[in-house]
Structure 1
Amino acid sequence: MSIDPITLSVIQAGLQQVCDEMDLSFSRAAFSPVIAEANDRSDGIYSAEDGALIAQGAGGLPVFVGTMQYSTRTLIEMIAQGTVAAPKPDDIYIVNDPYLGGTHLMDVRFARPFYRKGEIFCWLSNTGHWPDTGGSVPGGFSASATAVEQEGLRLPPVRLFKEGVLDEEIYAIICSNIRVADQRIGDVKAQAAALLVGEERLNALLDRYGDETVSEAIAELRVRAATQMRSYISGMPDGIYCSTAIVDSDGVVNEPLEINLSITSEGDELTFDFGGSSPPCLGPMNSVLATT
């Protein structure tokens, strides 16, 4: 490694500070109490190559920070396939589809490409819990839902902001399918502004240390994170560890659901096996890949 440990540590802290400021901006500017007061939100920096997490804020929800890797990776893949419009500077994509890396429909993700020298350096992304995204009941939490469409509006990755300008037609479609639509613009603008704060702070960090040095630091941090995790795993005795959890019912069919998990520890690797678990259920208790 050519980057010295002190510079590496400073850049690592700088990347986290970028995310911390995005989190703070989002919470302070958001209209909805669930974001502004409960901090049901997260911001992060993600790899331009594979969507992997680069940095996160200290106060972001881990479930959002982790699953945004999946939604960012899906977005990158769909852009490469041509099924989603290619990005331009100041574009912001919106997505909440659980099957494309989301959680539940009320958790709405924004993703903004971050450019340096005309190329995408990384992605800035955040998630905020909107109070309502449509569906059969206010708030989206229907205990009797038997299809995801009953829980609200599903959005695949689509550009909500095009070169910094809100697409009023797409926003009108969203507002026509949700409750208290007049309140959402406060969250939309807060969410977009948080990503702009991230862009400004990340540009300042890169201007100070240089693109090459920061890129080298990011690569080294990813290697160290993997090495540290493997070190923790290797400290576990080899073997198979099993656990079972029971859910009384899915809310629709009055039968218990079983979640079986066996973890095989071998050297510095873990294998997770959910074999023997109940099949997908009729009620709203299923888990998508990103949240499993």
Structure 2
Amino acid sequence: MSATTGISADPVLLALTQNRLDHISQQMGHVMVRTARSPIFSQAHDFTCFIAGPDGRVTAQADGIPIHSGGGGFAARAILRDFADDIADGDVFLLNDPWAAGGNHLPDWVIARPVFVGGRLVSLVCNRAHQSDIGGGAAGTYNPEATEVWQEGVRLPVLKLVEGGKVRRDLWKLLLLNTRTPDLLEGDLGAMLGSTRIGAEQVAGLVEELGVEAALGYFDGILSHAAGRMGAALADLPDGVYAGEERSDNDCFELRDIWVRAKVTIKGGRALVDFTGTDPQIRGFKNSTLANTHSAVYTAFASFFDPAIPRNEGTFSVIDIVAPEGSLVNAREGAPTTMDTVFVAHEIIHAVWKALNQAAPERAAAGWAKNIFGVTSGRETGADGREGRPYVFYHGLAAAGAGAVEGRDGFNQIGHLCTLGGLTISNAETYERLYPVHFHRQELRCDGGGAGRWRGGTGAHYDVEIKTPALYSFRGEGLRYETGFGIKGGSYGAAGEMHVQEDGAAAELAPKFGLKRMGAGRLTASSPGGGGWGDPRTRPLEAVWRDWRDGLVSTEAARESYGVAFVGYPDDPGSSFEASIDAAETERLRKA
């Protein structure tokens, strides 16, 4: 290899440099969690820190959520494009727009701080974070009734938020005027600025230790090494063309099938992902922007192969993407897109997984269920009975189950597929202290997970009381149809259900998407389950026994799906530790 990559000079130092950058990204995340004001950051961790080189290519993305960082280079390169000759030490940039600034959707704001050493730009240190509220037609950033981007919140091109070390107060005031929760936004922007300041100081220290030329060489080497690792993984697959597709059953306004179709061509250590044949963009807010589609594809590949392969923009340089303009995966400017980081990202990842499952069946993964949790917003009630400050509550505890893989059951509850577990599910007690809510039920679901040798994640039963009048913003993609697909003989996970009930009124079925104003009341849900992996009748007996004993699999499902019968149990299997497997009947069932 060329000495300019830094690899031939010292491969050990190359690895250490990569680890240092990853550690800096993680340190930035620690600062954000400890200083941010909104629970969406301090509790749920809905942000991502990443580091780009002076050319805008992402070299480290060790902390956060894959759907944020996979397309981070689009944002970094937008800054370099728009401010090529006007980037100075002490500047800090802000952006969110998908078309003008390389964003993925409007709620995710990027704070980017350039790093200079010896008067030379050596890096952009970035924090992309999903804000609690950015205006628009519904509180909480998600407006399920939006039919255009202008109904979703404020659009930000690449802006200088800080110039020469001084915050632009006019812009700062403009941002606070365009949110329903200015106290939260002010604190959260401060946390983002602080996290990037810490990151910039540490990156500058690393570059000074190595020397500018050597450091930039190692940055290039990190990307080259990652490209080589992913290229080798692709070269191990049989050359060929593999197709996968995934559907949604709605366009946010009516029930109709919407398809994402991916054709993955593997050849010579490279991959081409072609979305030709995907349905046109839709009326609702589930259209994907180009940066988001790249992120979703990268998430699919990163999660499918060896986790030891580095995760940076070099990794994905061996993957080409064709996303026809005007389609669901590359919406034209002006389309509503707020839901795209979750749905249609979920469909993109599933479609790519299904294609890769054919190329490498030994690595095949069952499908994750599509989550159903939405947002409730209102005003707190003060001790004197008057309305207090506004609040935005995300129903994250209603998270769905993940799909199984060979050797492991699916996670029973986890954040959206696009986060790969990076989105944290908080404790009910924490939310009860922060919001006017009270939890009546939060437990794992029985028979929610898809049956298989390895069982899909179960999902959960969820029951929460909302103590104030509120606006409910529904985003229940996983309601009323099965979304976690099974593989190798495994079955689909159960569909989700959700009801709302205003005090004094009868319960009613919640819509998949939409807005509804209600007085104080309750929301109940059964979140959907992930898909199973393998023939359920080969599941180890002790695993079926454990699930039955724990109330995750019913007596009927144990018999019908797994071919396991029990003796000596009461009506409630979860209460009995005395029952045993009926060996003779189980043998008969499993041979049938």
TM-score of the superposition, structure 2-length normalised?
A: 0.47
State yes or no: 1:44 paired with 2:35: no
**Residue aligning to 2:26:** 20
Matching of residues 24-173 of structure 1 within 5 Å: 24-49=30-55, 51-57=56-62, 59-80=63-84, 86-99=86-99, 100-173=101-174
Q: Could you tell me which amino acid in structure 2 is paired with residue 56 of structure 1?
A: Q
2:71 alignment partner, SS class: helix
In the TM superposition, what is the alpha-carbon distance from 1:6 to its structure 2 partner? Answer: 2.1
Per-residue CA deviation, residues 217-245 of structure 1 (Å, 9 max, x unaligned), is: 11211111111111111111111111111
Structure-1 separation of matches of 2:196 and 2:219 = 19
For the 8 Å contact 1:3–1:216, the answer to whether it is kept is no
Partner letter of residue 43 of structure 1?
Answer: C
1:206 pairs with 2:207: yes
Q: How far off its partner does 1:253 sit?
A: 4.2
Residues 97 and 105 in structure 1, CA contact (< 8 A), matched pair in contact too = yes
Shift of 1:103: 2.1
Q: Is the 8 A contact 2:263 2:274 kept in 1?
A: yes
Q: Which amino acid aligns with 1:153?
A: V
Cα shift at 1:213: 2.5
Contact 1:26 1:190 in 2 (8 A): yes
* Structure 2: 5+ residue stretches without partners: 294-592
Shift of 1:67: 1.7
Q: Tell me the CA shift for residue 72 of structure 1.
A: 0.7
CA distance in 1, matches of 2:178, 2:208: 43
Question: What is residue 378 of structure 2 aligned with on the other side?
Answer: none
Question: Aligned partners of 2:178 and 2:11: how far apart in 1?
Answer: 51
Contact 1:253 1:283 in 2 (8 A): no
Q: Percent of aligned positions with the same letter in both sequences?
A: 29
State whether structure 2 residue 26 is matched by structure 1 residue 7.
Answer: no
Paired with 2:222 and 2:141, the residues of 1 have a C-alpha distance of 38
The letter for the 1-side match of 2:283 is: L
- Contact 1:3–1:213 at 8 Å: present in 2 too? no
The count of corresponding residues between Structure 1 and Structure 2 is 286
Find the aligned partners of 2:194 and 2:277 in 1 and give their Cα distance.
Answer: 46
Cα distance in 2 between the residues matched to 1:258 and 1:56: 30
Once the 2 structures are TM-superposed, how far is the Cα of residue 5 of structure 1 from its aligned partner? 2.2
Using the TM superposition, name which of 173-182 and 250-259 deviates more: 250-259
**1:175-217 deviation line (CA, Å, top 9, x unaligned):** 1111111221111111001111011111222232322332221
Aligned counterparts of 1:56 and 1:254: Cα–Cα separation in 2 = 38
Aligned to 1:229, the other structure's residue is in SS state: helix
Post-superposition Cα deviations, 1:91-135, rounded to whole Å, max 9, x if no partner, equal 111111122321221111011111011121111111111100001
CA distance in 2, matches of 1:212, 1:275: 42
**1:250·1:282 contact (CA, 8 Å) conserved in 2?**
yes
Secondary structure of 1:98's counterpart equals coil
> Structure 1 residue 252: deviation in Å?
2.2
SS in 1 for 2:133: coil
Q: Which residue of 1 is the match for residue 226 of structure 2?
A: 225
Distance in 1 of aligned mates of 2:285 and 2:14: 45
What TM-score, normalized by structure 1, do the two folds share?
Answer: 0.94
Matches for 1:223-262 after TM superposition, within 5 Å = 223-262=224-263
Aligned-partner Cα distance in 2 for 1:289–1:270:
18
The answer on whether the counterparts of 1:113 and 1:120 sit within 8 Å (CA) in structure 2 is: yes
Partners in 1 of 2:266 and 2:15 — Cα distance?
A: 31
Letter of the 2:202 counterpart: R
Shift of 1:56: 2.0
Structure with more relative contact order (C-alpha pairs < 8 Å, separation 6 or more): 1
Separation of aligned partners in 1, 2:138 and 2:196? 31
Which residue does the alignment assign to 2:276? 275
1-side partners of 2:93 and 2:76: how far apart? 10
Contact 2:53/2:219 (<8 A) preserved: no
- Greater CA deviation, 149-158 or 197-206? 197-206
Q: CA RMSD in A?
A: 1.4
